Structure formats: structure tokens, C-alpha cells
Amino acid sequence: MNKHLFQRIIILSPLLISLNCSLTRTPTTEDLQRAFVEMRFGAFIHFGIMTFTGGKWAEPNQDVTKFNPTNLDCNQWAEAFAAAKMQYAILTTKHHDGFCLWDSKYTENDVASSPWKDGKGDVVREYVDAFRAHGLEPMLYYSVWDNTAGVGNSTITPDELKFVKNQITELLSNYGPIKMLFIDGWSWKMGHKCVPYDQIRELVKKLQPNCLLVDNTHLRCLYDNDLIHYESGNEYPANNTLPAIFSLLINLDSGNDWFWDNRVPTAELLSVSQIVNDNLKILEPQWCSFILNCPPNPDGKIDDNIVIRLAEVGQVWSPDPTRPPLPPQALQIEYPITPVAAYATSGNPKYAIDGLNDRYYYSVWQTTAPLPQSITIDLGREYGDVSILGYVPKYQPYINPLTEGSIKKYTVSISTDNRNFTEVASGEWNGDINLKVVTFSPAKAHYLRLEAITAVDDFAAATEIAIGRGKNPSIIK
């Protein structure tokens, strides 16, 4: 048996036994999060048309005829990552330029239009097969923003939404079990209202119930997200107790953004100490999995300097078997509802439901009149089982979450006609930066109202408000 595969089985066996014993039911999001954070170390694989053209980040209409990794060796990738004791990887199946590493029925901007293997190649297939053969979990990255197709460059049309769903369906239908779909170019580019989060989540869970859905939201909370992603350049918080990932490039001052360039083979890399002591040993106790970006070259291989460094890491680091399990999590919205509109007694309410967030820009509803003030959210139709509200306090670019405007005393009311409201919850929060969750008995609602009675600095602010159902909607109508 492969030595690294044997080590991985030993590391994961308690987790697998636990899952087999306890998950005769359909796993909850928290079950999946618990399983994921036991995988302490993984790889990001940025590989695509930019690897060959040297094109700019998100540049549209790149020359697909240049894609030709004649010596593609996904087994070499897997062996290099296994040597570092990584347990999973995430492949960029499609980045913002729109080029697909599989033969998609819905675009010609893909491997089928390239000379590689006479247009009959499939990088995604070779990747998932090789990684499973080496005991690694293959996970997938997909960009909703497609700058060549124009998806995300203006208001999303029904056909464009269908295009996104069709491509996600291809990825989650043809490559076996996928434990995570990492989506990019969504929240920070167009928002979760423009491309409805509830529809994408429903599709993912229908195709792969055990797949975590992760979006690069740049929020330090589990709003519309199964894992928090701290991207390179964003600091992760001390004393984290939420399931999270942190991604970083192995190559310093080289590469074409996260992709390869001709400086990488001789580039200065993160040292073993930087990888192990400055990241793995700090992140692991905080239930934050470390993802190290290792870009393959145009031959389709990982450069020797990276392979050597990964082997050095594996010589000195192993997962800590004494780390306790992920702490119990707050109730999460398993079945979200994407609102269609919002109204407020003051301030611009659309910012609380647009799902539009980036570390360079956050849209925030902020009251402009003395408290109490309220925001009323239109769910688009009547639901019979609304039971959860999530509230994300104010975020500000570069600073991230703030306490100012954080609601302290509140009420939640629901209505079916937007005239007669019934209070279903009330209480007090501590006014900190964390996501707040309110639950109440499942009830019929077309509208939901959050009233801010008191707040830090005497005004109320919300980066996002999420609404959903905690039970399977097939059970409660």
C-alpha cells in the first residue's frame, strides 16, 4: 500500500468511524463542517488558460489554442501533495476568464477547443481520478463570473443563470463525490441576490447532498457560506471557533496572480518554517484548514522546487491527533430564502439583502433617523416554515467588521400581507461584530420585519440579513 495513503487512512479512521456510526441520517451542514476541518492541510491548484497565455487576471477571450499541457501528470501533483501530508486539493475548473478544464456543452471556451489531445482531453477527470487513487479528496473551484461569456458584467439574465446552473450540474454530476464546491466571483462581484443563493444551494445539495458550498464572500462569518475563507492578504482572527480555511501562495513575488509564470521554477518559496510554524501550527488549533496554492507549469507538472519544498514539509509536520473536535456551532440556515425586495423606515434597505461583499467594498444598510428603526424584507412569496433570521453587523473595507451600528435590542415580526405583523421573537444581543442568529417556531410568512430598538452608537447597521428555514421544506409546506 502507498505509504502516504496508509498514513491518511490512519489519520482519518476515527473520523470515518464516527461518521459511519452517527450519520445514518442525512448529514447536516455542521456534520460536514466537522468532517472537513479534520483535513488540516490542502492544496489550491490554479491551472488554466492563463498558465499558457500569460494573460491578465480575468482577461476575456484568451487564445484557447495555446492550451496544450502535453505532459499533464495529475499523479505527480497528487504524489507531491501527499508527501506534504495534505489531504485534499481544490482545482480551478473555471476561473474568471471563463476557460473550462472540461468539455462543457455550454461553451466553446474550453479544453475541447484546444489542441491538447485533439480536443478530447479532460483535466478535471484526470485530476479526480489521480487524487482519489492517492487517497486525496478532490474538490472543485468554479467562477460564477465569466468575463468571456459576459456573465456578471451586467444584470444577470435568466439565460445566464441557466448557464451557471448547467455548468455546475456538469461538474457535480460527472466526477463522482465532491466534498466541496468553492465558488468565486459571486458575492464580491454580483451578490447573492443577483445570482440567487437559495437556487444555487438547492441545486448543489440536490446533486451532492454531502458537498460543502463555499463562496469567497470576504466575511468573517457563516453568512450564506459553509466555511469561512480567509484569502491571502486577509488576517484570520485569533481564537477562532468556526469552520474555516486560509489560502496562501507558496511562491513569493512570482506567478501570474495565483497562476504560474516563468519565474516560479526559480522563485523564492515559503520556507518550511513559514509553512509549518507560521501557518499550520497556528491554524490547526483554530479549526482553520490551511490551503497552499501550488500552480502547475505549462507542461502540466508541479515544478521541482515546489515538489522538494512540499516533501520537506512532510518530513517535519503531521496532523495533531490531540486537537479537540470543532466546538458546537450555532444553528445554521440549511434552507435559505433569497429576498426579492426590502423596505426601511430610514436608510437604503436594498444593501441589507444584496449579498454583495468584498474586502474593497461592503454595501451596508444604515439608519439615518433616531431609533427605533426597522427594515421589512419581502420574501417574494409566502413560505409555510420560516424560522431563522441571521444578522451580519457592519463591515467596512480593509477594517472588516465593526461594532458601530451593531443592533443590541430587537424584535422580529412576520406577516403574510405586509399590513398585519405578528411578533415572533425579541431579545438583546451584546453589540459585538459576530453574526447573530434568531430562531422561532416555523410560521407562514411573506414578509419579515427586524426592528432595531437600541444599537451601538445609537444607529443600526446591517451588512446582510439572511432568512431561511431550518427543516426540510418537503416536510413543512
Dump pLDDT digits (tens) for 127-139: 999 999 999 999 9
423 domain-assigned: yes
pLDDT > 70? residue 15: no
- pLDDT tier at 234 (50, 70, 90 boundaries)? confident
45 strand-pairing partners:
91
The answer to whether the CB of 389 falls within 8 A of the CB of 332 is no
pLDDT > 60? residue 96: yes
Looking at residue 381, its pLDDT comes to 97
Per-residue pLDDT, averaged over 54-70, amounts to 97
Per-residue pLDDT, averaged over 297-301, amounts to 98
- pLDDT tier at 13 (50, 70, 90 boundaries)? very low
Angle at 229 between CA 224 and CA 233, to 5 degrees: 135
pLDDT > 70? residue 474: no
What percentage of the chain exceeds 70 in pLDDT?
Answer: 94
328 domain-assigned: no
Looking at residue 471, its pLDDT comes to 67
CA distance 359 to 230: 11
pTM of the model: 0.94
Dump pLDDT digits (tens) for 143-202: 999 999 999 999 999 999 999 999 999 999 999 999 999 999 999 999 999 999 999 999
Dump pLDDT digits (tens) for 240-259: 999 999 999 999 889 999 99
Q: Hey, how many other C-beta atoms are within 10 angstroms of the C-beta on 427?
A: 11
330 domain-assigned: no
pLDDT > 70? residue 475: no
Read off φ and ψ for residue 217, nearest 5 degrees. -85, -20
235 and 342 co-located in one domain: no
Looking at residue 68, which CATH number applies to its domain?
Answer: 3.20.20.80
Looking at residue 259, its pLDDT comes to 98
Per-residue pLDDT, averaged over 77-89, amounts to 98
pLDDT > 80? residue 350: yes
The answer to whether the CB of 323 falls within 8 A of the CB of 286 is no
431 and 294 co-located in one domain: no
pLDDT > 70? residue 220: yes
> End of a domain among 281, 316, 351?
316
Long-range contact list for 162-165, CB < 8 A, 24+ apart? 163/106, 164/195, 164/200, 165/199, 165/200, 165/203
Q: Identify which has the larger pLDDT, 239 or 11.
A: 239
Q: Identify which has the larger pLDDT, 399 or 365.
A: 365
Looking at residue 346, which CATH number applies to its domain?
Answer: 2.60.120.260
165 and 255 co-located in one domain: yes
pLDDT > 70? residue 92: yes
Dump pLDDT digits (tens) for 244-297: 999 999 998 899 999 999 999 999 999 999 999 999 999 999 999 999 999 999
> End of a domain among 287, 316, 345?
316
CA distance 222 to 243: 9
Per DSSP, the three-state class of 393 is coil
284 and 339 co-located in one domain: no
260 and 373 co-located in one domain: no
- pLDDT tier at 321 (50, 70, 90 boundaries)? very high
Looking at residue 23, its pLDDT comes to 44
403 domain-assigned: yes
What percentage of the chain exceeds 90 in pLDDT?
Answer: 90
327 domain-assigned: no
256 and 399 co-located in one domain: no
250 and 107 co-located in one domain: yes
Looking at residue 235, its pLDDT comes to 74
CA distance 99 to 292: 23
- pLDDT tier at 342 (50, 70, 90 boundaries)? very high
Looking at residue 279, its pLDDT comes to 96
pLDDT > 50? residue 428: yes
> End of a domain among 264, 286, 316?
316
245 domain-assigned: yes
Q: Which domain holds residue 144?
A: 3-316
Per DSSP, the three-state class of 464 is strand
The answer to whether the CB of 152 falls within 8 A of the CB of 185 is yes
161 and 282 co-located in one domain: yes
321 domain-assigned: no
How many separate domains does the chain show? Answer: 2
369 and 264 co-located in one domain: no
The answer to whether the CB of 441 falls within 8 A of the CB of 424 is yes
Strand 228-230 relative to strand 244-249, pairing: parallel
342 and 194 co-located in one domain: no
341 and 215 co-located in one domain: no
CA distance 344 to 349: 6
475 domain-assigned: no
Looking at residue 51, its pLDDT comes to 98
Q: What is the mean pLDDT of the chain?
A: 93
Per-residue pLDDT, averaged over 386-407, amounts to 95
55 and 144 co-located in one domain: yes
CA distance 39 to 253: 28
